[in-house]
A = this chain, B = another copy of it.
Amino acid sequence: MASIVLGIADSARLFGEGAQHSTEPLMTIVDAHERVVSPFDYAVTRGDGIFEATTVWHGTPISLQAHLRRLAHSAALMELPKPNVAEFSRAVDEMIAHYDDPEPGPILRILVSRGLDAETGIGRASDGLPHVWMFLDAQGALHDTDPITLTALNRGYSSDITSRAPWLLNGAKTLSYAVNMAMHRECDRRHVDDAVTTTEDGFVLECPNSSIVAQYGNRLVTPNPNIGILHGTSQRELFSFNQQEGGSWEYATLPFARLLEADHVFMTHGGWVIPVASIDDTKFVVNPDFVQRANDAIHSGRTQEEALQIQPDEGMF
Contacts and interface: CB of A to CB of B under 8 A. Distances in A.
A182 interface: yes
A179 interface: yes
A35 B33 CA distance: 12
Interface in A125-155: 125, 133, 135, 137-141, 153-155
A33 B168 contact: no
Contact of A178 (B156, B161, B175, B181): B175
A78 interface: yes
A78 B177 CA distance: 12
Given A78-B178, A167-B182, A121 B46 contact: no
Interface string A1-21: 001101000000000000000
A186 B158 contact: no
Interface of A: 3-4, 6, 32-49, 51, 78-79, 109, 111, 113-114, 117, 119-125, 133, 135, 137-141, 153-158, 161, 164-169, 172, 174-183, 185-186, 200
Chain copies in the assembly?
2
A52 to B, nearest CB: 12
Nearest to A79: B185
Contacts of A79: 182, 185
A4 B16 CA distance: 33
Contacts of A180: 46
Contacts of A141: 119-120
Given A78-B178, A175-B45, A181-B46, A39 B167 contact: no
Given A45-B111, A46-B178, 17 more contacts: A4-B121, A4-B122, A32-B122, A35-B36, A44-B133, A45-B51, A47-B174, A48-B181, A78-B178, A121-B140, A153-B165, A154-B164, A155-B165, A156-B156, A156-B161, A166-B186, A174-B178
Contact of A176 (B39, B41, B47, B121): B47
Contact of A122 (B33, B38, B47, B117): B33
B140 A153 contact: no
Most chain B CB inside 10 Å of its own CB: which residue of A34, A42, A161, A167: A167
